[in-house]
Structure 1
């Protein structure tokens, strides 16, 4: 994966604290709390560079029973899975127009936010598509605006050594990636999947 606009990878887990504990045991690196999202989810983060990170997201342990998690299919998730990824183009709105002109609609741009553990709020904009796919090889677009990038907050770091996707119809994915102006290796596979390999204190670790 050579696209310089990589923003973050999203690793969804059915139990957030258990998922973080397992990740720390496998890699030797302990993720740090990112914060809570409206809707009942929360995340932990690991840096992948100055402007890139891995997000571990799951149901918010502090959320009440009236706040079901809605992001990334967390309601039905039964095992950890690398579900999607994001890129941060210099001009989000311009990239959306470009993609639509080339036959791919990345979805509408909408604002989101989350509250950090220190009580401060992060605000950003991203593209959002309504789709049932559990794994999304084509990334969404994100713009942090004036908000400091999460990777710049002193996160513990790992090195991402490879990132790729597989799909039953790889040519369709390659078409959509090209429309977005994004580079990613896509091979043929039985189902949509993302594959990330990391160099860690405990050796090579792969997430799918």
Structure 2
């Protein structure tokens, strides 16, 4: 199941202003990631799925190893990748590894939501970072009953998520072994790409890279 869709930007305030206008709602502040030098804004898509806009927090020090998702190298906003929610991340990672698709070690993560609730989750990233250009997701197992966009703006819904890649058959195979074959549409393209269509108060909005 899709946990969240990540839209990365080099200029967070400008991008949030643009999306607020296009969506017809105001994205909700999510939180600051102190060690990553980033912060986010969120929209709840329903069913514990959410849309996340991630960009630099200029009030935080630049992280030694750079910001995630290549944000420091971006020149414009774009869909970066997506996350899949699983019930047992250790099992999924183990079984995927046995079939030749490896993940980096599972990492425990947490942050305070801002209302006194601590969010906790465990995540695993495909070995080598954004495998297949980000069209294959990283994995999230929530450890808390609360989730990231629970208190975020409502009224936005997910219509579709399409991922495309020159090796579309291989991408389909990897998604199938992760149990995610029905989550997204997979197409073939010259370059890796993602495209999401959202239902908003201002009408359908398509975002890609």
Cα root mean square deviation, aligned: 2.0
Name the residue aligned to 1:182.
180
Bigger mean CA offset, 52-61 vs 96-105? 96-105
Q: Which residue of 1 aligns with 2:88?
A: 91
CA contact (8 A) 1:100 1:179 kept: no
What are the residue-to-residue correspondences of 1:100-179 with 2, within 5 Å? 100-118=97-115, 121-128=118-125, 129-131=127-129, 135-179=133-177
Contact 2:119/2:144 (CA < 8 Å) preserved in 1? no
Q: For this pair of structures, how many residues does the alignment match?
A: 204
Residues 45 and 156, structure 2, Cα contact 8 Å, conserved in 1: yes
Give the TM-score normalised by structure 1: 0.89
Distance 2:207 2:50 in 1: 14
Q: Distance in 1 between matches of 2:29 and 2:177?
A: 34
User: TM-score, structure 2 length as denominator?
Assistant: 0.89
Structure 1: gaps spanning 5 or more residues: none
Whether 1:22 aligns to 2:18 is: yes
Q: Which runs of 5+ in 2 are unaligned?
A: none
Does structure 2 retain, via aligned residues, the 8 Å contact 1:14–1:59?
A: yes
Residues in 2 aligned to 1:86 and 1:206: alpha-carbon distance in whole angstroms: 19
| Superposition deviation, residue 135 in structure 1 | 3.7
Matches within 5 A, 1:34-113: 34-37=30-33, 38-65=35-62, 69-113=66-110
1:185 CA displacement: 1.8
